[in-house]
Structure 1
């Protein structure tokens, strides 16, 4: 099964040589599920020819906001709606979660409650799930047809499904402790409050359930692809 990775941003230069870019992180996260990957750097205006180029789609995180006036945002929203119309399965992470919601008619804002960074616990389908987060923006109004399957006190709409075709989540299952530490070092200072960065570093060794999220993501993509055949 071929998964198209729509890369909407790039990892900090400081980690590219060790952890790779976001597409590499997702390929590593989903290793063992039998996927083939093709990356499209949509943030750099590298777009696929259409929704049928791949069997399923994954939209990455980004330092940009879904509401930003950037050249890649409108064509990406068009592609998201096209993928949905073509009944191809699609998953979105952080910015991907937000841009899909916006493209489908929801609303994304810079949350006035501030940042969520590092290990966070979510109520996911009735279970407690710990995953690393790094965001200030949030989906605050749901699109028609979106169902909340994950939330916590800080982020009400942390995981969404749209029928059996779209699955999205606000935190970052692809971020391990090394990536969170790198973000706290290279992108956090002067942007994220110091107390949050200190707390994040103090929890770097605490367990997270990234593999459980990866397995759920993979199962959703495979089930959606089978339903399309």
Structure 2
């Protein structure tokens, strides 16, 4: 099964030699599942010919806001709607989670409550799931058809599913401790409150449920189901 990765941003240049860029992180997360991958850097204006260029689609994170005025955002939103209409499974992470919701009629804003950074615990259909987060933007109004499957007091819409069609997650199952440490060092200072950066740094050794989410994403691509 071929997974098309729509890359909407880049990992910090200083950490890429060790961690790879965002598509590399997803290929590592989904390794051993029988997938082939091809990446289109939509941030640079590179788009596939259409939904038929892959069997399933994944939209990465980005430092950009879904609501910002970039030339590549309207065609990405159009492609999201085309992928859904073509019946191809679609997964979005962080910015991907947000841009899919926006393209389908939801609303995304810079959240007045501030940032979520580092290891964060979510209520995932009654069970705790720990994943690394790095975001200030959030979905604040759901699009039609979206079902909430994970949340916490800070992030009401932490994971969504359009059954059999789309699966999106606000935190980053592809981010390990090394990535969070790199973001703290390269993008956090002067932007994220220092006490939050300190707490995220202290939590780096704690385990996350990345592997569980990787299995869930792989199952969704193959079976259109999370269970």
Taking structure 2 as the reference length, what is the TM-score of the superposition?
A: 0.98
Alignment partner of 1:148: what SS?
A: strand
Listed as ranges, the matches of 1:47-126 within 5 Å are 47-126=47-126
* Structural RMSD (CA): 0.8
Gaps of 5+ in 2: none
Structure 1 residue runs without a partner (length 5+): none
* Aligned residue in 2 for 1:3: 3
Separation in 1 of the partners of 2:151 and 2:206? 20
CA contact (8 A) 1:117 1:196 kept: yes
| 1:22 match | 22
Q: Does 1:182 align with 2:191?
A: no
Asked whether 1:137 is paired with 2:137, we answer yes
Tell me whether 1:214 sits opposite 2:214 in the alignment. Answer: yes
Mapped to 1, the partners of 2:105 and 2:189 lie a distance apart of 34
Are 2:94 and 2:171, in contact at CA under 8 Å, matched by a contact in 1? yes
Q: Contact 1:88–1:224 (CA<8 Å) still a contact in 2?
A: no
Give the superposition deviation at 1:126. 1.5
Report if aligned partners of 1:3, 1:58 keep a CA contact under 8 Å in 2. yes
> 2: distance between equivalents of 1:55 and 1:126?
32
Counterpart CA distance in 2 for 1:215 and 1:126 is 19
Output the TM-score relative to the length of structure 1: 0.97
DSSP-derived class of the 2:69 partner: coil
In the alignment, the residues of structure 1 paired with residue 202 and residue 216 of structure 2 have an alpha-carbon distance, to the nearest angstrom, of 28
Distance 1:73 1:7 in 2: 12
Structure 1 runs of 4+ with >3 Å offset: none
Provide the rounded CA distance (Å) in 1 between the counterparts of 2:46 and 2:224.
Answer: 25
Check if 1:196 corresponds to 2:199: no
Deviation at 1:18, TM superposition (A): 1.2
Give the total of aligned pairs.
225
Secondary structure at the residue paired with 1:187?
Answer: helix
Q: Deviations over 1:151-200 (max 9, x none)?
A: 00000000000121100000000000000000000000011000000000
